[in-house]
Amino acid sequence: MNGVHSITKEIAEGIVINIETGLLAKQANGSVTVRSGDTIVFSAATMSKEARSDIDFMPLVVDFDEKMYAAGKFPGGFFKREGRPSERAILYSRIIDRSIRPLFQKGLRNDVCISSFPLSIDNDFPADVLSIIASSAALCISDIPFNGPVGAVRVGEIDKKFILNPTIDQIEKSDIDIVVVGKENNILMIEGSFNEIPEDKIIEVINYALPAITKICDLQKELISLINPTKSSVYLQEPTEDIINALDSILTSSITDRFPLKTKQDFENLEKELKDEILSTLSERFGTEFVENNLLLINQAFQNRLKKIIRNYVIKNKKRVDGRNLDEIRPISIQVGLLPRAHGSALFTRGQTQALSIATLGTQEDSQIIDTLYQSSNEIRKRYMHHYNFPGFSVGEARPSRGPGRREIGHGALAEKALLPVLPKESDFPYTIRVVSEILESNGSSSMASTCGSSLSLMDAGVPISKHVGGIAMGLIYENDEIVVLSDITGLEDALGDMDFKVTGTIDGVSALQLDVKVPGIPIDALSIALKKANEGRKVIIEKMNQAISHPREVLSNYAPRIEMIQINPDKISDVIGQGGKIIKKIIEETGSKISIEQDGKIYIASTSREGLNRTIEIINNITKPIVPGQIYIGKVTKIFNFGALVEIAPGKEGLVHISELSKTRVKNVEDVLKLGDEVTVKVLDLESNGKINLSIKALSENSSDSKSNKHSGKQKRTNR
């Protein structure tokens, strides 16, 4: 391509998108910038010249990198350069990958790499949607075989009105946040979170998005016509006719006579038996060397043929490999409170998928600080986190753990979004909440099991969530315009089907969803049917969850911190902190509590004991409430003079008890009555104009006979008040 080419189109009122190529990164197979407002995203697509012969999958890598300079910011942390991708960057990479992967030719084995990052960011145009468009456009104008373009938009809702590509501020206020990716009225990818909305409204949202998606595709087509790229002829890994014919003679529909296969292991045993027979037959026919040189092709042909037989069986019999009806949920068992030291725990088992979810409660200090591209007047903190772990043993694999991968981060984020609508407000429950879902066994829908387990563990921990959130994964077989929807899919059904549609929600509506497809788009009719079936399945699952635990525990675990929030006058914050933090450090040392103070005067106090919590509140109240004559305090003697003693009645507040105010009888020496460190009950006599506080012990004995003990050593034990 020669020269710079630029196309601009208004895809909706006030939303203009520009795509430009030819200026940057001209050695890539294809590169573009996509701009909307002041947000500019760059994407480059490259492909290796040679195909790989050692793999049986399409080697696509997508990287989205957050560049903090795009927002005029320094990266956080000790090293002032971008390092490991943030969770947000990984999630952006995943939605690009999921949007474009179905549109590559089957059998393509050349490495394809998409590199995308922002060059400029504003708060009006988030980068994720633009990065999908940019990646699609870079592929379309390159010589890489790609069946695009695709269009992507985000939809929000404010005041019951849909908004196309809402700003960051609008997204935070919206009851809907959904990214829809499609092509020619077919849907390729959906990622959404909602405030418990009905299923038919989701279909409304998708239909609202489609016209803009079409315009974005048309915009890319205009650019393609200017470039007129020639697509490369690439090697496609395809089985030979000899292999296909040999497999057809062995793999016949008669293998379905072995159905139902109740467990994953039953199917794996059948699969191994068939594969051994195929390899033996091919070795006899073509020789051992032929088989060894074509193992990948033989396996590909085997999987394709087996997949076709199973799909036809399901379509014809309306039964599944494991014998279930199309909308039947696998058996569910639930245990809660099984870990004695955890703040909350739940074991959720559905079929051969098992998730152990553990809830932990912490203070504000435990919240996660988010280093984001977008501008915010306040530090962004995350008070609810869900982490998902998928160890090798869960699927019977002998592999070490090397930290969470992109899939684990994506599944954790989905379950996290699912629970957000039912969480209590921070003002009502001032805790940081973390849930970890350990997948102990997996045969499909493990992310949805972790959603259910999280809801159960939160209730077990006493977190006042409003209701349970359940999750279900829906599958699809779309053959010759026939739509067969499968509820609660297994790993096998995920692999042989045309979509993986995860839907979470309460009894009242959908809270999150995620759609991945294996084909170049599916019709909205299929999604509509799947959403209806998901609603029915979700109700069955939530009923089982309610049988295990239907309301949050009334009492927190003995091992969870106790947290309370008190409000003080912001002008008094410095009094609580003290010079150089002296007072607040002293309070923490005395009570063992954790204290977090906000600029608006909110003080969050956390302690593992109720006694420490109450003492902290008492001290802070004494510091912040005004001192008036007549008030009585229990204080500590901090200094002794020959004319009296200083008594600290609250941290940082001291008053003088003159020697004449120590007792009704004459006192010659102050130390005859008081010693350093003594606790003594005193009454405020008056406040001088310079702020000095005059205290009295004598005034108490004059007013009450209960203060006789002050005549003696002056030492008093602190009493409960």
Q: Which CATH number is 670's domain given?
A: 2.40.50.140
Kindly state whether residues 544 and 584 are assigned to the same domain. Answer: no
Number of structural domains, the chain? 5
Residue found by looking up tokens 């939605």 in the block: 95
Same domain for 617 and 517: no
Do 286 and 146 belong together in one domain?
no
Domain boundary among 256, 288, 317: 317
Pairing mode, strands 482-487 and 470-479: antiparallel
Alpha helices (H) in 174-240, listed in sequence order? 199-227
Query: What CATH number does the domain containing 588 carry?
Result: 3.30.1370.10
Q: Are 327 and 484 in contact (CB under 8 A)?
A: no
364 near 432, Cβ under 8 Å? yes
pLDDT higher than 90, residue 247: no
Residue 85 lies in a domain: yes
Binding site for Mg(2+): residue ranges? 494, 500
β-partners of residue 163 are 156
The CA distances from residue 677 to 64, 646, 653, 674, in Å, are 62, 11, 15, 9
Q: Is 463 within the bounds of a domain?
A: yes
Q: How far apart are the first and last CA of the chain?
A: 83
Predicted confidence (pLDDT) at residue 608 exceeds the cutoff of 60: yes
Identify whether residues 381 and 507 lie together within a single domain. Answer: yes
Say if 448 falls within a structural domain.
yes
- Which parts are annotated binding residues? 494, 500
CATH of the domain at 30: 3.30.230.70
- The 3-state DSSP class for residue 82 equals coil
Same domain, 362 and 301: no
Short-list 65, 5, 6, CA closest to 41: 65
Strand partners, 450: none
Q: State yes or no: pLDDT of 78 exceeds 80.
A: no
Let me know if residue 380 belongs to a domain: yes
- pLDDT value for 708: 42
Asked if 82 contacts 68 with a C-beta cutoff of 8 angstroms, the reply is: yes
Look at residue 242 in the predicted model and tell me its pLDDT.
83
538 assigned to some structural domain: yes
Centre a 10 Å sphere on the Cβ of residue 642 and count the other Cβ atoms it contains: 8
Residues 392 and 509 in one domain: yes
Q: Mark whether 260 and 280 lie in a shared domain.
A: yes
* Sequence-distant (≥ 6) Cβ neighbours of residue 718 within 8 angstroms: 634, 679
> How many Cβ atoms from other residues are within 10 Å of residue 134's Cβ?
30
Q: Work out the average pLDDT over 280-307.
A: 91
Answer yes or no: are the C-beta atoms of 197 and 174 closer than 8 Å. Answer: no
- 623 contacts 653 by C-beta, under 8 angstroms: yes
Residue 557 inside a domain? The answer is no
Residue with tokens 């909706």: 12
- Point out the domain boundary residue: 513, 548, 583: 548
pLDDT tens for each residue of 109-119: 999 999 999 99
For residue 9, give every residue at least 6 positions away whose Cβ sits within 8 Å of its Cβ, in sequence order, or none: 16, 17, 215, 216, 218, 219, 222
If one counts every other C-beta atom within 10 angstroms of the C-beta of residue 92, the result is 27
- The proportion of the chain whose per-residue pLDDT surpasses 70, expressed as a percent, equals 96
In angstroms, the CA 449 to CA 348 distance is 6
Global pTM value: 0.88
> How large is the average pLDDT for residues 50-71?
94
The reported pLDDT for the residue numbered 369 is: 85
Nearest in space to 252 (alpha carbons), one of 297, 298, 300, 312: 312
Q: Kindly state the DSSP code that residue 319 receives in the 8-state scheme.
A: B
Q: Does residue 378 have a pLDDT over 70?
A: no
Residues 340 and 484 in one domain: yes
- 3-state SS track over 427-441: CCCCCEEEEEEEEEE
In a domain, 721, yes or no: no
Shared domain for 609 and 705, answered yes or no, is no
- Calpha distance 206→194 (Å, rounded): 14
Show which of 548, 583, 600 is a domain's final residue: 548
What own/partner pairs with CB < 8 Å and gap ≥ 24 does 3-8 have? 5/223, 5/226, 5/227, 7/219, 7/222, 7/223, 7/226
Residue 291: domain span: 241-317
Quick one: what percent of the chain has pLDDT higher than 90?
Answer: 76
Task: Please indicate, yes or no, whether residues 609 and 636 belong to a single structural domain of this protein.
Answer: no
Residues 637 and 528 placed together within one structural domain of the fold: no
| Structural domain contains residue 556 | no
Cα dist from 500 to 10, 492, 495, 601, whole Å: 33, 12, 9, 48
Q: 644 and 617, same structural domain? A: no
User: Is residue 119 a contact partner of residue 24, using CB atoms and an 8 Å limit?
Assistant: no
pLDDT bracket for residue 75 (50, 70, 90): confident
